[in-house]
Amino acid sequence: MGPGPSDVPPSVLNAMSQPLVGHLDPSFVQMMEEIKDMLRQVFLTENDMTFPISGTGSAGMEFCFVNLIEPGDEVIIGVNGVFGGRMSDVATRCGAKVTQVEAEWGCIIEPDQVAEALASVENPKLVAIVHAETSTGALTPIEEISKLAHEAGALLLLDVVTSLGGCPVRIDEWEVDAVYGGTQKCLSCPPGLSPVSLSDRAMESVKGRQGGVQSWYLDVNLLANYWGDGARVYHHTAPISMNYALHESLRLVLEEGLEKRWARHQANHERLKAGLDGLGLQLTAQEGHRLWQLNAVGVPDGADEAGIRTTLLNEYGIEVGAGLGPLQGKVWRVGLMGHSSSEENVDRFLAALKSLL
Give, as ranges, the residues between 133 and 162 that touch a second copy (CB under 8 A). Answer: none
Shortest distance (Å) from residue 323 CB to a second copy: 12
In the complex, least distance from residue 7 CB atom to a second copy, rounded to whole angstroms: 7
Half-sphere exposure at residue 290, Cβ-oriented, CA atoms within 13 angstroms? 23
Q: Is 14 in the site for a second copy (CB under 8 A)?
A: yes
Residues between 180 and 199 with contacts to a second copy, criterion CB under 8 A: 182, 184, 190-192
CB of 2 to a second copy, least distance (A): 5
Q: Whole-number minimum distance, CB 175 to a second copy, in Å?
A: 27
Q: How far apart are CA 313 and CA 75, in angstroms?
A: 41
CB of 54 to a second copy, least distance (A): 6
- Using left for φ > 0, alpha for ψ between -120 and 50, and beta otherwise, residue 127 falls in beta
Angle made by CA atoms 132, 1, 325, in degrees to the nearest 5: 55
- Establish if 215 lies at the interface with a second copy (CB under 8 A): yes
Q: Which of 239, 238, 242 is nearest to 189 (CA)?
A: 242
Nearer to a second copy, 20 or 119 (CB): 20
Instruction: Among 16, 115, 202, 346, indicate the residue that binds a second copy (CB under 8 A).
Output: 16
Helix (H) or strand (E) holding 246: helix 240-256
Strands 155-159 and 124-130, bridge-based pairing: parallel
Residue 318: partners with Cβ closer than 8 Å, 6 or more residues away: 1, 312, 348, 349, 352
Q: Rule CB under 8 A: is residue 56 a binding residue for a second copy? A: yes
Q: Is 249 in the site for a second copy (CB under 8 A)?
A: no
Using only C-alpha atoms, the chain has a radius of gyration, in whole angstroms, of 20
Residue 66 Cβ, how far from a second copy at the closest point, in Å? 8
Write out the DSSP string of 89-140: HHHHHTT-EEEEEE--BTBPPPHHHHHHHHHHSSSEEEEEEESEETTTTEE-
Sequence-distant (≥ 6) Cβ neighbours of residue 240 within 8 angstroms: 20, 21, 22, 23, 28
CB 54 within 8 A of CB 48: no
Region from 73-81, 239-247, 248-256, 343-351 binding a second copy, contact rule CB under 8 A = 239-247
Please tell me whether residue 204 binds a second copy under the rule CB under 8 A.
no
Dihedral angle computed from the Cα positions of residues 118, 121, 122 and 126, in that order, rounded to the nearest 10 degrees: -60
Binding residue for a second copy, selected from 35, 45, 57, 273, defined by CB under 8 A: 57
Q: Which of 254, 303, 324, 357 binds a second copy (CB under 8 A)?
A: 324
- Range 68-97, binding a second copy (CB under 8 A): 86, 89-90, 93-94
- Is 253 a binding residue for a second copy by CB under 8 A? The answer is no
The distance from CA 248 to its chain's CA centroid, rounded to whole angstroms, is 19
Q: Does 328 bind a second copy (CB under 8 A)?
A: no
Q: Least separation, in Å, of the C-beta of 219 and a second copy?
A: 8
**315 lies in the binding site for a second copy (CB under 8 A):** no
CB of 192 to a second copy, least distance (A): 3
| By CB under 8 A, residue 217 contacts a second copy | yes
| Residue 208, φ and ψ in degrees, nearest 5 | -90, 10
Check residue 8 for interaction with a second copy (CB under 8 A): yes
Contact 140, 109 (CB under 8 A): yes
Using CB under 8 A as the binding rule, whether residue 22 contacts a second copy is answered as yes
Maximum Cα interatomic distance, the chain, rounded to a whole number of Å: 63
* 239 counts as binding a second copy under rule CB under 8 A: yes
13 is an interface residue for a second copy by CB under 8 A: yes
Give the footprint of a second copy on this chain (CB under 8 A): 2, 4-5, 7-8, 13-14, 16-23, 25, 54-59, 61-62, 86, 89-90, 93-94, 182, 184, 190-192, 212-217, 234-242, 245, 313, 319, 324
